[in-house]
Chain A
Amino acid sequence: MLQIAPHYIMNQSKTFDFRQVPPAINLAGELPAPNHKKIELGSGVTLHLLPEEETIGFRLDLYFTGGIKDNRLPTTANATFSLMTEGTLDKSSEQIYDSLDFYGSFIEKDVAYNYSKFTVFGTEPNFKDIFILIKDIITNASFNEKEIDLYISRQKQRLLVDLEKPGTLAKRAFAKFFWGNNHPLGNLSEIEDYDNYLNRVSLVDFHDKLIKRGLHQIVLSGCCSDKIINTIKEINFYNDAKASEYGDILSNHIPQKGLTFIQKDHSIQAAIYMGTELINRKHPDFANMQVVSTLLGGYFGSRLMKNIREEKGYTYGIGCGLQSVADKGVFSIRTEVLNDKWEDALACIDYEIEKLKTETVPQDELQTVKNYMCGNMARLFDGSFSQADRLQMLVNENLDWDYFTNYLDAIKNISVVDVQHWANKYLNIGSFTTIVVGSK
């Protein structure tokens, strides 16, 4: 129950002088230490607990080895994960969802590059029924033809809608140019792929090798009662036979650099998606470059937002980010701008990158970015569900909580000279693959 206070009518006071002085700011010191426990369940499966008091709501994340990296044909990983809940040996899709809804439970699925995640939310009174159903889905998914056909027809329709969006077109073109057609991240589904490649055999194989036998981490957050923990131990979500990997795909694609304009008739804005390879999370400079990236375009007060939105009014928003994916670091900038201003917007982006390399950042601007990033870290640790989100990266990339402490330290210690140094070392406008989708 939320505490409700009686209504307060504020007194009318006299002077406003105190308002001219900003309140003192206390810098975030340490990150909260998550109350994280680990239990080995056997067969290499680890159960992680992130308990929170006073709630009957829990969240269970199940991590499997199968991910986009295992796509031999476009769509397989996503289709397998989607269709897994559309029927088991003795339950129809309708029965599964009816039960889930009846238990007040909801599920989320996320197919990442290196793994996939199945999340189920529920409340303590129903946990046992929910777990039995989830176990049935994981071990006995049936992939019947009728559901596959329905999935194909709905996905085709959704893709048709998506392909009308300039932002989506730019993102897809970038993926193809950057990763190449032979890489699972560049080999995107086209409409015809759904008919040509998607079949029951590949789904069943993917499910059998990489999901059913691919469970390796379980994270329970929120309500972690003994009853729930014991049931997880007993129910044996995993299968003793271990996953047989598909093996890596070798791709020696070299990203196609430079500008490509794609015509989209009647578009009233131009979508820009540009990116370049940079360092990944394992690299010691990663945190430093996150600071540079945030300063350039990673928060509301960033240089790109100030220049292109707040000064020129070309866009509703512009952002950049450095992601670690498929062992690579990818730095990208994305925006949608006035149709006839995309060249100008690209010039502004060049200008801001060049400025970071040639001029030292003012001390107070860097301090703002550092404080913002530290505050953001604190936000990212608030509550057991947020901590479960953080654990996602740790368990899938073999890192521990020290990663965040070190990351925070790196942010706190970076100087204005460092920023210029890192910008010079890593940002090179000539290395970008740039896609513009608009109407000329």
Chain B
Amino acid sequence: MVVVNVLYKVGARDESPDKTGFAHLFEHLMFGGSINVPNFDTPLQLAGGDNNAFTNNDITNYYETLPVANIETALWVESDRMLQLEFSEQSLEVQKKVVCEEFKQRYLNQPYGDAWLKLRPLAYKTHPYQWATIGKKLSHIENASLEDVKSFFYKHYGPDNAILSIAGNIKFDETIKLAQKWFGGIENRNISKTNLPLEPTQIEERHETVKADVPQKAIYKAYHMCDRLHTDFHATDFMSDILSGGKSGRLLNKLVKEQNLFSDINAYISGDLDAGLFVVEGRLNDDVSFDNAERAINDELTKLQQECVHDNELQKVKNKAESIFVFDQLNLMNKAMNLAFAENIGHIDWVNTEIDLYKNVKKEHIQKVAQQILNVTNCSTLYYEPK
């Protein structure tokens, strides 16, 4: 088997505030056919292939897995839609409806499904991370026009804004030759990178309460953290693992099992390219007040600021990271994607060496990060209250 992965350096952060959800809608349109490939999926299926794509706030990523003997089919269809996408009114109309149904199914018609739609604008006031990939609202998608689609394509889709990665049982020289054949002729589109507005430092506590059809109260606390390339990134990632990695994290042991305040609680980082968020989210047990629940979370966060984590706690999250690294190497798709992600952040060598950055994290560094970011004036808190 072989995996062909094409990453375009465009995501929801590149949208204009009055046309949100566009990068993701565009991802759907990329399956509508191109100049020499009227139907994108059929040739791949004939070649025994499978394909999909995803969009996040930073990138749009497309991939195909298929028998290595048919790699040219994947290169043909991928390169053709990079060369010249078919812009069809009919495809646009249908995909607008499909994306609206996706919006409902995944975000609006699920309990807590809209949490990030509320949390983002609370935490970000300037940076485009203030809207989710799916968009701010249904009307932005409904109003998209064919002109918008065309200009988006020429503004963001081109060889000079893309990364091709290939993983599988294929020789290096052969791969280069085939990549050259299919992608070599596509001209650059002089894609210019716009500077995104920086999010100003948050200086006040932010709070919002949502009343919704949910069975339990829930709390979301989001703290601004560093960007993907910052030297604090790996320590911050570990800080979330110490709180709730695996099933032995502090939050589960203390707040679920010992104090019986939450039924579920998690800490994680958003992992964005630009300055992202460190999030704690939990669902409260019946009869537990928001005040008590939040105080308990704050106690745990304060502990991280006051004392270094234990040596074996740190060793534990390091061991876990190392083992995840081993298992990542066993999956062809992960290999192809990790190559593209690493190249996208400008550190292709990190596919092999980022694990060392994790292994070198010091406990004092985690404490320093905790002191820097886990402060009330850096925090946006969202409460879900059952109607």
Selected interface stretch from B14-22, B94-102, B273-281: B94-102
Chain A residues in 8 Å Cβ range of B101: 269, 313-316, 336-338
Chain A residues in 8 Å Cβ range of B326: 55-57, 123
B76 within 8 A of A: yes
A4 within 8 A of B: yes
Please report the C-alpha to C-alpha distance between residue A275 and residue B317 in the assembled complex, in whole angstroms: 45
B237 within 8 A of A: no
- Residues B109 and A104 in contact, CB atoms below 8 Å apart: no
B351 within 8 A of A: yes
- Residues A97 and B184 in contact, CB atoms below 8 Å apart: no
Chain A residues in 8 Å Cβ range of B41: 300-301
A254 within 8 A of B: no
- B interface: dominant SS: helix
Supposing A26-B70, A378-B67 touch, asked if A103 and B109 sit within 8 A by C-beta, the answer is: no
- Residues B339 and A2 in contact, CB atoms below 8 Å apart: yes
- Residues B42 and A164 in contact, CB atoms below 8 Å apart: no
**Distance between A192 CB and nearest chain B CB, rounded to angstroms:** 15
**Distance between B50 CB and nearest chain A CB, rounded to angstroms:** 7
B115 within 8 A of A: no
Interface residues on A, range: 35 or more
- Residues A102 and B109 in contact, CB atoms below 8 Å apart: no
- Near B by CB (< 8 A), chain A positions 294-317 give 299-301, 309-316
Selected interface stretch from B55-63, B147-155, B240-248: B240-248
- Residues A269 and B104 in contact, CB atoms below 8 Å apart: yes
Chain B residues in 8 Å Cβ range of A35: none
Supposing A4-B352, A25-B46, A338-B101 touch, asked if A102 and B316 sit within 8 A by C-beta, the answer is: yes
Within 8 Å by CB of A299, from B39, B45, B172, lies B45
Please report the C-alpha to C-alpha distance between residue A267 and residue B36 in the assembled complex, in whole angstroms: 42
- Near A by CB (< 8 A), chain B positions 150-191 give 159, 172, 176, 179-180, 183-187
Please report the C-alpha to C-alpha distance between residue A112 and residue B93 in the assembled complex, in whole angstroms: 42
Interface size on B, residues (CB 8 A): 90
Chain B residues in 8 Å Cβ range of A309: 94, 98
- Residues B247 and A97 in contact, CB atoms below 8 Å apart: yes
Chain B residues in 8 Å Cβ range of A57: 323, 326-327, 329-330
Which residue on chain A has the smallest CB distance to residue B91?
A: A310
B298 within 8 A of A: no
Please report the C-alpha to C-alpha distance between residue A10 and residue B105 in the assembled complex, in whole angstroms: 41
- Residues B93 and A313 in contact, CB atoms below 8 Å apart: yes
Which residue on chain A has the smallest CB distance to residue B351?
A: A2
A268 within 8 A of B: yes
Selected interface stretch from B201-209, B213-221, B225-233, B357-365: B213-221
Within 8 Å by CB of A12, from B75, B187, B248, B285, lies B187
Supposing A13-B185, A160-B216 touch, asked if A267 and B332 sit within 8 A by C-beta, the answer is: no
- Residues A52 and B330 in contact, CB atoms below 8 Å apart: yes
Please report the C-alpha to C-alpha distance between residue A199 and residue B99 in the assembled complex, in whole angstroms: 46
Chain A residues in 8 Å Cβ range of B187: 12
- Of the candidates B105, B110, B185, B319, the one having the most CB atoms from chain A within 10 angstroms of its own CB is B105
Chain B residues in 8 Å Cβ range of A163: 215
- Residues B179 and A8 in contact, CB atoms below 8 Å apart: yes
A3 within 8 A of B: yes
Please report the C-alpha to C-alpha distance between residue A28 and residue B75 in the assembled complex, in whole angstroms: 18
Supposing A313-B101, A316-B102, A376-B48 touch, asked if A19 and B36 sit within 8 A by C-beta, the answer is: yes
A38 within 8 A of B: no
Within 8 Å by CB of B80, from A19, A27, A164, lies A19
A421 within 8 A of B: no
Chain B residues in 8 Å Cβ range of A22: 43, 73, 76
B66 within 8 A of A: yes
Chain A residues in 8 Å Cβ range of B104: 268-269
Please report the C-alpha to C-alpha distance between residue A338 and residue B159 in the assembled complex, in whole angstroms: 38
Over the window 306-348 of chain A, the binary record of Cβ atoms lying under 8 Å from chain B Cβ atoms (1 yes, 0 no) is: 0001111111100000000000000000001110000000000
**Distance between B164 CB and nearest chain A CB, rounded to angstroms:** 9
B257 within 8 A of A: yes
- Residues A375 and B48 in contact, CB atoms below 8 Å apart: yes
A387 within 8 A of B: no
B253 within 8 A of A: yes
Supposing A8-B176, A22-B73, A52-B330 touch, asked if A164 and B94 sit within 8 A by C-beta, the answer is: no
Please report the C-alpha to C-alpha distance between residue A104 and residue B186 in the assembled complex, in whole angstroms: 45
Supposing A57-B327, A267-B109 touch, asked if A25 and B47 sit within 8 A by C-beta, the answer is: yes
A206 within 8 A of B: no
Chain A residues in 8 Å Cβ range of B45: 299-301, 368-369, 371-372, 375
Interface on A for B, CB 8 Å cutoff?
1-5, 8, 10-16, 19-20, 22-28, 52, 55-57, 93-94, 97-98, 100-106, 121-123, 126, 150, 153-154, 157-158, 160-161, 163-166, 222, 266-269, 299-301, 309-316, 336-338, 367-369, 371-372, 374-376, 378-379, 382-383, 385
Which 10 pairs across A and B sit closest by C-beta, in order of nearness? A375-B48, A313-B97, A104-B323, A23-B72, A160-B215, A157-B263, A97-B248, A26-B69, A104-B319, A316-B102
Name 13 interchain pairs, CB-CB below 8 A, sorted by A.
A2-B351, A4-B351, A5-B176, A16-B185, A101-B319, A102-B319, A126-B319, A163-B215, A300-B45, A310-B94, A315-B101, A375-B48, A383-B332
